[in-house]
Structure formats: structure tokens, C-alpha cells
Structure 1
Amino acid sequence: MKPFVYNALPARVIFGGTLSQLAQEVKRLGCSKALILTTPQQIKEGEDARAHLRELAVGVCNDATMHTPTHVTNSAVELANKLACDCLVAIGGGSTTGLAKAIALRTDLPQIVVPTTYAGSEATPIIGQTENGQKTTQKTLKVLPEVILYDVSLTLTLPPQMTITSGFNAIAHAVEALYSPESNPIIDSLAEQGISSIARSLPRIIKSPNDTDARSDALFGAWACGTCLGAVGMALHHKLCHTLGGSFNLPHAETHTIILPHAMAYNAPYAPEAMAKISRALGTETVGKSAAQEIFDLAKLLGAPISLKELGLREEDLDRAADIAAGNPYPNPAALERDKLRKLLGNAWAGNRPE
């Protein structure tokens, strides 16, 4: 076995929990003044959390926004200071988790995150923020939530398309972990488990949205995939998605779903072992498709968007996107060449199946 280094992340994870446990988790942190965070679409979930917390809740902020714009964070920090809160309770998906992380980055407030999607960002010490049309990321334990509480009942009303795209978003975390320079046997094993859990649960959820066993599998997969990304580094896939999200305001999970098979195909010749593990996790080792093609076909079969054109990106924006992506060097199995990146983006824009 090759030498490796593995740093475990210091977080408390509760599977099969319920909102009724929020109060004891706030107290366990030594806190008594929680600020609840949600999106405008999840006001009810925020009020439900407030009802469970009772006197432990000092306010609710419903302003969480995709791609974590800094002006939203600045307003939320002002509210947190005004209310003198001593912890954050985030109920929602990646947007809400992102706002909690951004506040924690500025204030060091502890976080309790209750995910309602399968994005997996709650398990990472990574934050992406958008300012002046540019999305940047950083990795710091200051933004790693102290507690993650997985309540499967909160995912039962997640719309089918959001279920699918947030699941593929999570799979992308594990895929990139498998070919990261920091990969190791522990994370590789967890990545395969995460990919397998989500890939087998998504068709079941679409067929039967109230299948709690399938929803539980997806939540475990989301945590596993997020933990993988949190332990190692990001590569081409995530950088392209951050470019498209931050600079062109494309929806986060849908963009991840579309870009993933194309980024995999770009890297496949330089990461054959990783691709073999992905195929094994998908159960497609003998099907005769590449791992990238299998991911593309699964997304298409489930009815996910498969082209950037569907998301409203203009073809004339592809050159600028390629320039931005190529202008920021980062570790990746394949060399980052501007013309090849432009071709990748062109295929993703048109929805072409990877070769």
C-alpha cells in the first residue's frame, strides 16, 4: 500500500435524527441564543425549527441565496450581531449551509446544519462565495459545521428534479476525491460507498418519493461524498462549476449534474484507476460504457438537465467561461488547456454524450 496521510474532520454527525433534537444539540454546544437560517422557499421549515427550539431561538433569517453572495452574508452578520446570537442553525440545502459557513467564517459562531437536500456541502470545510460576479473558494476548519443532523422526513417533499441534481452534485464530490493528489485508501473506500448509495437510491426515490429507506441511503451517500471532498482537494469539475455559477449565475446543482460526465471524460485517460472505481461503484464494470458515459446516461434516464443551453447559458458566453477556467491554475489529472476546456464546455452546452 502506498504511504498516505488522512486527517479526520472534527464534526458530530447524527443519522436518523429529528428536529426535536435541536434543543439538546444547542445546549450541548453550551449555547442558548440560536439564529435560524433558511431560504425564502423554506420559511415553514425555519418556523418548525423555531417551535422546537422555543426560548433557545432568538431569530430567523430567510435570506440564504444560491452561490452565497457576500452582500447577503453581510446583512446576515449584522442581524446575528444585533441579536447577540451564540450559534447558528441552518435548515436547507447548499445555499443555507453556505450562508451559515460564511457567517461562521466572519464570526466563529458554531453551526448546527440540518440538510434537506443531498448536496453534501455540510460535511466539508469548504466555502464558496460570490462577489462582483466572481466565485472564489477557500478551505478552513472555521466553516466546518460542528453538528450535522440528518432528518429523513425533511427530504420527503424535495421535488424530483432537485432530488436528482443534488444527488449528482454529491457524486461529483466523491468522483473528484478519487483522482485527487491527496487521495488515500480511507477516502477511496468512502467515495465508492457514497457513489453507490446515491446511484442506487435515486431511481428508487423517483419511482417512490416517500421511500424512506431510499431517502436514508441518499442522505448517507451525501454525507460520505461530502466527507470525501472535505478531506482532499477539488479539481476541474468543481472549478468549472464555480466559474459557471459565480460568473454566469447558473443554478448550482443542475450545473454540477451537466458538467460532471464531461469533466470525467476530460480526465479519464489520466485517471484510469479512479474511473474503474467509479464504474465498480455504479455496478457497470462489464456494461461496455465508460464511467463518464454511465453518469451521463443515468442523469438522462432520470430526467435531469443534460445541457448548459437548458439552463440559459448563451453559446457566445462559452469563450469567456473557458478563459476564466483556464486562467486559474489548480491541480488536475489532465493538463488544463484552454482550447480543450472550450471544447468540453461546448459539448456540455449542447448536451453531447461524452465519447
Structure 2
Amino acid sequence: MLEFEHDSLAQRVLFGAGKAASNLAAEVTRLDAQSVMVIAGPAETELAESVCSEIEPRLMYSDVVQHVPIETAEKARAAAREHDVDLLVSIGGGSTTGLAKAVALTSGIPIVAVPTTYAGSEATNVWGLTESSRKTTGVDARVLPTTVIYDVLSLLTLPVKLSVASGLNALAHSVDSMWAPRADPINSTLAVEAITALSSGLRDIKRDSASQSGHEQTLYGAYLSAVAFASAGSGLHHKICHVLGGTYNMPHAQTHAIVLPHVLEYNAPYAPAAEQRIAAAFGTSTAVEGLWSLRTELEAPTALRDYGLKESDLDEAVALVLEAAPASNPRPVTAESLEVLLHNVWAGTTSEDEGR
């Protein structure tokens, strides 16, 4: 019998090439905002000025830090209070959206998000804050952006390596949604469509970094992935990445890109129905084959030791992930199995390599 409970989040999405500035101006008018705080990191300054060319922000704020340290959040919250802000506009990747969410979490100020990567945070009601090297996440309706404005022209200059890492981060949302704590048939359907779009779009971007159709397909897939993830919740993959990112300050997108195939290999034999749907989305006989083939073609990052993770960090990481691992994971999670998985993530090896 088919029986499930599904939540759909209420959000307005505006998707159109070259329309970011006009769509933002229309949203500011629709929301009757009088004091707009624009959050955009230094790298997005020029883009933010272009996107905001048809509005008059009260405050342009650029102090953005990955994983949203609590101190960074408190400074942004104080700035919003000081300027009597009634609308937050985030222009950037997941760190920028995350900071806007941190402000919204305590103030209830609505957010209009203009993403410049495939992070997907803009489509979820999940927030994350880091304090004393520990990343805490939660769910709150106040942090879900009221509107998302997607403009593919904002992503055409994204370096290929970052497009690949960010796109695989989006893919991780889809894969995790297939067996996360609140996985259901609707989430799975969104995730499968997202995997197809992402794998096609990323291949196009790899061949031509300025491919508009490639970026559009990837952006479309990233949104579907995030919607599925928002409903399904955080599975084992995301719990691992939150620990590694918050505790050891690993780069967000690259961490997800590296961890994903190892979690897929870990869970796939224990979730055959989900595995076959993922494989079908890739157009391969197995899900693992499909993901490794895509990663090879994209020349994706392979090892977290390349980003500063130390082998001596792994024992602590195992203990922290073990505390956070969802009880509903298809395969039981043990300290022993995590030791193998995280060592492979650190070294860039697979279980097959370990057995040789």
C-alpha cells in the first residue's frame, strides 16, 4: 500500500536569463520593502551592483564567511537592526544565503535570494551556524526565502572547477533525498529528475564553460534537488559533511563532491529500489557506476586531504558523525564502517582499492 506524509514549502520562483535586476525590483515593490539590506560577499560586489541597479538598498553588506560563524551572524543581525531592515536580499552562494538565513532566524525578516552557485540553500528552510568548531543545523519556516530569482547569466563566468563542485553538491541533495528520514515518492521523483538534469548540464558545462543551456539545466536540477532535500531531510551524507565542514573548516562544495560517492557506495546495496532509480537517472546499470563515470568525466575533486583534512582528525570525526547519523539510514552505521568510509574520503580511495 502507498502511504506517506509530504510537506511542500511555499515559495515564489522567478527563472529567466538577464532578468535578475527587473525581477528583484518587482519583488521589492510587491513586498512593499522600504529598507533593503543586500548581502553579497566581496567577490559578488560587481554583480550585486548590477542586480540592484533598479532599486535603492539601504545597506550593502559584505562580511560573509563560509559555515556562518555565530560571530558573523551576530554582526549581520546588529546591522539589520541598526538600519531598520524590512527585506534581506542575498546575492551569492550558500554562505551568503546562509548568512541571510541567520538574520531571518532571529528577526523574521523575509529574504529574496539571488543564487550565483548551485548550492540549493535558497530553496530550503534549513539553517546552519558554527560555534566553537561545531556546526549546528535546524529547520525553521522563517529562513525559507520568500522568493528565489534565478538568472543563468549570473553563473556563466563561474570557473569550471567550482561549477563541478557546486553541481555535485546539488547532486548530493538528490541522492540523500532517496533515503533521508522523510523520504517519500514525491521527493524521489523530484530527485530523479534532478539527477538527470544535473548530469546532463554539468557535462555540457565541462565541454563549454559558457554554455547557457548547460548552466540552465544545472540550475534547474539544483533547484529540484534542494526542494526534494528540504522535504526529505538530512541523510547520512549531509551529517558527515556538516561535521567535516563545521569542525575542520572544509570547503562546502568540494566536501560534498568528495563525500557523495562513498556514501552512495555505502548505502546502495541496502536500498535496491532507490539504487535502481538513481542508476536509471544516470542511464547506467548501477548508481555507483553512473556517479563515478560522471565524476571522472568532470575531473571532480577526490580527496579531502587535498583541502587540509588531517588523517589524525579522523578518529574525532568518526565519533562526531556517529552521534549525528540518522537511525533510519538504510545501512546500519557503526564506528568501524565509518572509519573505513572516512579514511577513503580523506585518502581519495574506494572500498575496492582498500581490498586490493
Structure 1 residues 122-150: Cα deviation after superposition (integer angstroms, max 9, x where no partner): 11111111110000110111110000000
Deviation per CA, 1:68-116: give whole Å up to 9, x if none.
Answer: 1111110011111111110000001101110111110011000000011
Residue 300 of structure 1 and its aligned partner are, at CA, apart by 3.0
SS in 1 for 2:309: coil
- CA change 1:61–1:91 in 2 (3 A) is same
Structure 2 match to 1:297: 293
Residue 236 of structure 2 contacts residue 325 of structure 2 at CA under 8 Å; is this kept in 1? no
Q: Give the structure 2 partner of residue 318 of structure 1.
A: 314
Secondary structure of the residue aligned to 1:344 is helix
Give the Cα–Cα distance (whole angstroms) in 2 for the partners of residues 329 and 9 of structure 1: 25
* Structure 1 portions without partners, runs of 5+: none
SS in 2 for 1:129: strand
Cα distance change of structure 1 residues 298 and 338 upon mapping to structure 2, 3 Å threshold = same
Measure how far apart 1:13 and its partner are: 0.7
Q: Does 1:353 align with 2:350?
A: yes
C-alpha change, 1:354 and 1:280, in structure 2 (3 Å) is farther
Q: Does the 8 Å contact 1:261/1:354 carry over to 2?
A: no
User: Is the contact between residue 21 and residue 53 of structure 2 (CA under 8 Å) also seen in structure 1?
Assistant: no
Task: Identify the residue that residue 280 of structure 1 maps to in structure 2.
Answer: 280
Aligned partner of 1:344 among 336, 341, 344: 341
TM-score, normalised relative to structure 1: 0.95
How far residue 49 of structure 1 moved from its aligned partner, in angstroms, is 3.0
Query: SS at 1:51's partner residue?
Result: coil
- Cα–Cα, structure 1 residues 5 and 327, in superposed 2: closer, same or farther, change >3 Å? closer
* Shift in Å, 1:204: 0.7
Match of 1:29 in 2: 31
Q: Cα distance, 1:163 vs. partner?
A: 0.2
1:47 corresponds in structure 2 to: 49
Aligned equivalent of 1:169: 169
Other-structure match for 1:252 = 252
Superposed, which structure 2 residues align to 1:1-355 within 5 Å? 2-16=2-16, 17-54=19-56, 57-285=57-285, 290-331=286-327, 332-355=329-352
Percent identity of equivalent pairs: 40
**C-alpha separation between the residues in 1 aligned to 2:290 and 2:271?**
16
Cα gap change, 1:266 to 1:304, in 2 (>3 Å): same
AA at the equivalent of 1:218: T
**TM superposition shift of 1:298:** 1.9
Tell me, yes or no, if the aligned pair for 2:21 and 2:52 is still in contact at 8 Å: no
Larger displacement relative to structure 2 (171-180 or 16-25): 16-25
Q: Shift of the alpha carbon at 1:189? A: 1.1
Alpha-carbon displacement from aligned partner over 1:221-278 (angstroms, at most 9, x marks no partner)? 0100000011111111001000100000000000000000101111112211111111
Q: Is the 8 A contact 2:191 2:228 kept in 1?
A: yes
Q: CA deviation at 1:329?
A: 4.3
- Return the offset for 1:350: 1.3
Paired residue secondary structure (1:179): coil
> Displacement, 1:354?
4.7
* CA shift digits 1:164-188 (9 cap, x unpaired): 0110101111111111242222221
- Which amino acid in 1 is paired with 2:28? V
Write the letter of the residue equivalent to 1:341. Answer: L
Equivalent pair of 1:90/1:113 in contact (CA under 8 Å) = yes
- Give secondary structure in 1 for the equivalent of 2:338: helix
Distance 1:181 1:172, change over 3 A: same
Query: Number of matched residues?
Result: 349
SS for the counterpart of 1:53 is coil
Measured in 2, the distance between the counterparts of 1:296 and 1:32 equals 49
Is contact 1:19–1:151 with CA below 8 Å preserved after alignment?
no
Aligned CA-pair RMSD: 1.3
Secondary structure at the counterpart of residue 145 of structure 1 = coil
Residue 328 of structure 1 aligns with an amino acid whose one-letter code is A
Distance 1:229 1:112 in 2: 20
| TM-score in terms of structure 2 length | 0.95
Asked if 2 retains the 8 angstrom alpha-carbon contact of 1:296 and 1:354, the reply is no
- TM-fit CA distance, 1:209: 1.6
